[in-house]
Structure 1
Amino acid sequence: MRDYEIYELGDVLLQSGDTLPHAVLAYKTYGTLNAAKNNVIVYPTWFAGLHTDNEWLIGPGKALDPEKYFIIIPNMLGNGLSSSPSNTPPPYHQANFPQVSIYDNVRLQHQLVTQKFGITKVALVVGWSLGAVQTFQWGSSYPDMVERIAPFGGTAMTRPHAKVVFEGMIAALQADSAWQNGFYTQQPKAGLAAMGRVYAAWGFSQAYYLEQLYQQEGYHTLEEYLVDYWDQVFLTFDANDLITMLRTGITGDISANPVYDGDFELALSKITARALVMPGSTDLFFPPQDNKYEAQYMPSALFLPIESKWGHCAGIGQYEPDSVFIDKNLKRFLLE
């Protein structure tokens, strides 16, 4: 049974110039919108994530408490629930699905928040990884609407090194003979497994592997961890959906739009919301020094690294000490 709602957007003109017909956003809400409509938290999803993957940070007594806040999780375009290559009919199906940007995602989420719910103020936008990039975009695109942002494990611009890693993941997937230029009749499983192997080297830190911290997850050997976890992790996803999200990440840049015309520092300076920026201290995708640079241009930003050996995945909700750190600081941030 479906546990989310669908918001119909109609025909959407994307930043690429293409029109996506009958576009939809899948979303789920938690809690109740108060009469003043000022208890709103927006929590976008991440690469290969669904709204359910965000739920670890939501619950009574937590910072994102549904007894206090109205929490909206919009699913990212391309994740298989919102408009994606796997659920869009011809001629925009499979590899014909158009390029979508972070700017596109946030603009459509804003439409959901304002037109569906009549909300004019957002208490907090929060997100991890590509959800963090969307969080920065919310702050930059709608500075008068957003009171706080809390991006963790993600930057306001995808740097060249991360782009190379994302391209490597795409190349590994497309090397499968079943790929068929994106018009496959069955999922390219070998390519999906290879993509997982590429991600494995970057999702966690060198210390994580050196100290065999994967054993805390129940895997006794490195080979068992790679085969039983990373070779399987993307098999539940459609290959074109994954590539769509990766290409969104590759072009991630809050200034890559008509408002800021590529002036990255200007886009950062317009984030007037109070900001809590929490990178993973050993994140190889989005290293903390990039966030530190970004925070310098933001009028009201606190730079607070998550000291962790879990690399990028410090923000995924799997390791309790990291999760406690994130929740504790979000709770404090919301009270300030």
Structure 2
Amino acid sequence: MKAKCTLLFLFLGTLLIQAQQFNTPVDYLNYIGKESDNISRSTWKYMEAAAHSKRVRKINNTREALLKTIQSASKKIQALKDGYKGDVEYRDQMIAYLSMSEKMVNEDYATIIDMQEVAEQSYDYMEAYIMMQEKINEKFSSEVDKINAAQDVFAKKYNIRISSEMTAIGQKIRTSNEVFDNRTDLYLLFFKVNFTEGSMLEALEKKDLNAIQQSANALSLYADEGLEKLKIFKPYKNDPMLVNASKKYFEFAKKEATDYATQAAAFLMLNQKFEESKKLMDAKTDSQKTKEDINSFNKLVEEFNKGVNNYNKINTKYNNDRSSAIENWNITADNFVAKHVPVG
């Protein structure tokens, strides 16, 4: 499961005073505010697609639409050569903000896409990928604060009262960011355990006993860490659904590391012993095989057959339980976003 990239954009307050004439400062702010609202709507469409769709093309199409909206707004605001009666300070600040936004959506998002392609190759890559998303959001948030402050300065200069309440779209975007952040915190815990689990299963497939033990120890450690962090984790709006799914998976991973890995390693050692003994027996002629050799080998064959049956049972059980726990986490994560991120 891949984490989704989220972006934070401009939420300008709505004016409480309606402009009567086009050349008033209120009308000037309303003109710029309209372009900001267009960007907010386009931003919301992108975030809604990222939250509720798994189609990469659809998500990328909304990103490109967002980019075009920013470019269109930038051209219109740049066309205000005189700003408001020669006062171009706020206009210039807005142009600078839009230029930064265009660059980040165009370039930084491309970096995110590149990082996403390799993110699941290691925990470090995934952590770096998520940290890059957070860095981009923090930068946007900082720039949003600056441009909102610039709007306040202009409003005070001309005695304009501006609402401090968010627009409906702005609230949706803020909510989405909060939901994504909350889910991402748990996803990183989940991914660390899940990636280590994958390393252990790979070691089992390769019959590498040392690697199995190392991976199992790490899996047990990370599962315990995850369970401890869940105790102090603050779920979004106290909704425990994703916390519960994470707990279920970590508890399974802990048992898998201690029970399944131990039994699987024991069977691999038995299998190795059987293959070596069989090789020795096959190398002997019938006349060279003593009664003791035959009895000892037959006893080993009986033990091996029981081991195969037992291993097949636990393998089937843990494969099913693993698939169930992981699927439950993924479905719960999707439902968590669908539940809390507004639609439409």
Normalised to the residue count of structure 1, the TM-score between the two structures is 0.26
Normalised to the residue count of structure 2, the TM-score between the two structures is 0.26
Higher share in helix: 2
Higher relative contact order (CA 8 A, sep 6+): 2
